[in-house]
Amino acid sequence: MDVNQFKKGNPEKIVIIGLGYVGLPLAVLFDTKYNVIGYDINPRRIKELKEGYDRTKEVEPEKLKNCQIDFTDNPEKISQAKVIIVTVPTPIDEHNIPDLRPILSASKTVGKYMKKGSIVVYESTVYPGLTEEECVPILEKESGLKWKEDFNVGYSPERVNPGDKQHTIDKIKKVVAGDTPEITEFLAGLYGEVITAGIHKAPNIKTAEAAKVIENTQRDLNIALMNELSIIFNKMGIDTKEVLEAASTKWNFLRFEPGLVGGHCQIGSEYITVKQGNKIFETTFKDFVEKIKPKKIVNFYGTDLIFPQESIEVLSFDPVKENFDFLPVRVFTKRKYDNLLKIKLSSGQEIVVSDKHPFIVKNKDSYDGKLACQLQKGDEIPLTSKLPTIYKNQEINLIDTIKDTNLIDKLRIKPINKKWKDFDKFTNYIAKNYLGKKVSNYFYNNYLPLKEYLKIREYFIKHYSEKDLVIVSGRGPSFGSMPAVIEVDTEFARFVGYYLSEGCLTQDKKSSRIRLTLNKQERQLLQDIKSILSRWRISYSIYEDKKFDSLTIKISNKVFGYLIEKLELGKNSYDTKIPDILMYNTDEVRIELLKGLFRGDGGVSVCKGTPKISYFTSSKVLYHQITLLLLNFGIFPFHQKRKGYIEIYKISDLRKMKDFFLDSKREKLENALQTKKDGESKNYYIDDKFFIVKVKEIQPLKDEEYVYSLEVPKSKNYITTGGVITHNCIGVDPYYLTFKAQAIGYHPEVILAGRRINDYMGKYVAENTVKKLIKAGKPVKGSKVLILGLTFKENISDIRNTKVIDVYNELKEYGVEVYIYDPYAYPDEVKHEYGIELLDNIEKHTPYDAVIVAVKHKPFIEELDFKQYKKLMNNGGIPILIDVKGIYNKEKALKEGFLYWRL
């Protein structure tokens, strides 16, 4: 193919796919020599370009009006071109994930309309290998043509610096590479006609792709170094800008300014603790992720990145507050994997993870990360020790629980030890004009049908408490009652424990029956259950089974049965679980729950004078919950080979559990503990806030199965099976190069470290703004902060990947009222991308409590001075100026009376 065939006056054409910051300047440059079609999927963009208007401001209106480019949003015109250059964006989305959809979608469109003999050239930023591994198969599939026989591909990385009028596209050396030496030569000639800076011919496409990636990576790492130094210097009271000015006097010092720069997992049967809406529950990865309602699913190299539709939190260790808490999850992941490891711990528990799953490992006085494949026997792993308390002083209003069920037709409401007439402020509403029927029987029999009570309930609860009421059903022998309001207290917790270990629920059309079965010798246990039921005014019967030497307590009560069902305690031994209202209650309540569980299913044995406590459950969820509860009280459970079976050996732990038992079990434990002293355990120890266990065995598994993970941005960890505190699996990375590196089995430590620092800077700026507000004596919540600039860099309208949004979001978390003014950004784009209304007038919400200059826009430098800033913050307080870009003189700012801070 000859380059001259594409020159004006000749038949062949070049089409540019995507007319943004990269594509439009390239199209205009090519138009000086070649026949050019400019294609974009946005009809509005095409209309503006035909009218001579470029909203990116990369091309002057005069050049645009005088060009001969055939602007179109009709994809059929792609078939008119022999050379197809793809310049669509490959952005990092709001979750820091490279979004490949635009380039893959463009490849589908190109494949559909390209013709035999075409050359498809990609300029978009990609990881090494994407052109040939991802794009080529799409082109072949859509076109029906064969690569290197019917069409060829090339790569020439874009190097446009938006807003830079000095280093324009023709003045930047162009790297080109083709899939054959002949195509490389053709591309060198094609671009060489318009690029005055010269051409560099890369040996292959992957090399050209890698060259583009490392340009940005190198810059990012240098800025990350400056950002980290800025944080350190700030803590030392040293001005970073002054340090840079001094250091840059050496000829070979590269001056980069600090600023805002834009995995693997566990098998599905491992547990996490989730807070979703108003519910907290323990669940396996598989059960939860498979049912998640996604806002978006992104697939990369076979990994599904699942972004949840609603807010989801998981149990984590918060390193800032140094406690265990529920923290937000950004993304869940799912993929197939076959290189798994079973990690057995000295506690007896086992976890199956991928070989690249990062563990948290204790290293002397610190905690480090280690991949599962790097673990060694004896490595120390932390376990949780304390559960958060979410619920306190809870009550269950049974009227609210059953009011929307078909039970209301069969139930009545009665006062406790009173007459309706005693409720003088309510009596007037038990009347025909309110209920529409005769009411004399209600007073005579001292009851109200629940259906009728609900009609006038608002008048009762306005003056009285429903704790004074009971719900009754049936008459005569089938009569049953229950308090309208039950307190979630120690007795309630203990009874739930009894039910979970000894109970079952059966239901039919007539009634619900709860049965608790216990040994006939457990008289104290029987008495405790009877006492609780009597307090609740619940009738029961007891019958004896001589064959099994047992007693069964039977409760026939529809309301109570419905409550058991509503609490989702389970109907048999395989699906029992602790409700969140108890699991995450106070320790006073939780300890009574454990008493109920162990009095039912716990065992005490003594071998050669040494006691131990055991517990078994067939329910996997309950087994996990009991493990967490025991750890919460500083009691260490050892997990046995038999699934669902744990034992407690340590004498100090057994002493803590003495009150867990009654009757003969307690007597046996007390006698055995009289002469026993506590000893050291070789299997675990306690370190500050954690239990520490050791890696005992690592077993490779080769079975392929789905593995799952999640990312908690704030804490970088979550609690999994058996209370193990495990590190975030790295499911999302900001760079294409890191994606590719991990796909071939390498974890790029330096790149990721730099990215983590840069991702933190938005939060760092916000935190220092808050510190200045506090220092100025201003309340943080409700204060007004103006941010000047939102775009990715100065003097352009590009808002993609801007890190200023992190400053905005972090300040909002503190309760600050945040406003943004940017003369370059387009309000409609900002509204669509971030949901933020830009200020159309910088003074709209004056006076502000602080101003953050986030972007070095020309108008901010030329039109705003210290006098103007004081005017914007004229509220009688100390003006606060946060100078992210180091625009202003520090001494002058302080002299003018500003509380001044800069990176």
Rounded-to-integer distance, Cα 62 and Cα 407, Å: 78
Residue of 67, 135, 265, 729 with catalytic role = 265
Chain centre distance of CA 426: 50
Query: In 76-173, at which residue ranges do the beta strands (DSSP E only) sit?
Result: 83-86, 119-122, 152-155
**Residue-wise DSSP of 407-423:** GGGGEEEEESSS-GGG-
Residue from 886, 893, 881, 887 nearest 769 by CA: 881
Residue from 634, 659, 666, 662 nearest 648 by CA: 634
642 backbone dihedrals φ, ψ, rounded to 5°: -70, 120
How wide is the angle at C-alpha 644 spanned by C-alphas 643 and 650, nearest 5°?
Answer: 110
529 backbone dihedrals φ, ψ, rounded to 5°: -65, -45
Residues 6+ apart with CB under 8 A from 236: none
- The 3-state DSSP class for residue 631 equals helix
- The 3-state DSSP class for residue 476 equals helix
- Distances in whole angstroms, Cα of residue 485 to Cα of each of 326, 488, 490, 815, 848: 29, 10, 15, 37, 50
- The 3-state DSSP class for residue 404 equals coil
265 has catalytic annotation: yes
Rounded-to-integer distance, Cα 582 and Cα 488, Å: 8
Q: How does 94-113 read in b/e, with b if 16+ C-beta sit within 10 Å?
A: ebbbbbbebbeebbebbbbb
What are the helix and strand counts (H, E) for the chain?
Answer: 30, 45
Check if the beta carbon of residue 877 is closer than 8 Å to that of residue 849.
yes
**Residue-wise DSSP of 651-691:** HHHHHHTGGG--HHHHHHHHHHHTT------SSEEEETTEE
Rounded-to-integer distance, Cα 527 and Cα 323, Å: 39
Residue from 260, 262, 223 nearest 244 by CA: 223
Q: Which residue has the tokens 């089409």?
A: 15
**Residue-wise DSSP of 39-65:** E-S-HHHHHHHHTT--TT--S-HHHHH
Rounded-to-integer distance, Cα 795 and Cα 57, Å: 10
- Distances in whole angstroms, Cα of residue 584 to Cα of each of 9, 62, 790, 833: 78, 68, 42, 38
- Distances in whole angstroms, Cα of residue 606 to Cα of each of 416, 525, 639, 649, 683: 49, 22, 19, 11, 21
Q: Which residue has the tokens 């490959």?
A: 90
Sign for the CA dihedral angle at 871, 872, 877, 881 comes to negative
How wide is the angle at C-alpha 902 spanned by C-alphas 896 and 903, nearest 5°?
Answer: 165
Residues 6+ apart with CB under 8 A from 817: 782, 783, 784, 785, 845
- Distances in whole angstroms, Cα of residue 60 to Cα of each of 163, 165, 540: 12, 11, 88
Residues 6+ apart with CB under 8 A from 304: 297, 298, 333, 334, 335
Helix, strand, coil shares, percent, the chain, to 5: 35, 25, 40
- Distances in whole angstroms, Cα of residue 251 to Cα of each of 224, 225, 264, 510: 22, 19, 45, 92
Check if the beta carbon of residue 248 is closer than 8 Å to that of residue 342.
no
- Distances in whole angstroms, Cα of residue 759 to Cα of each of 197, 228, 728, 752: 35, 11, 16, 10
Start-to-end C-alpha separation, the chain: 54
Catalytic residues: 265
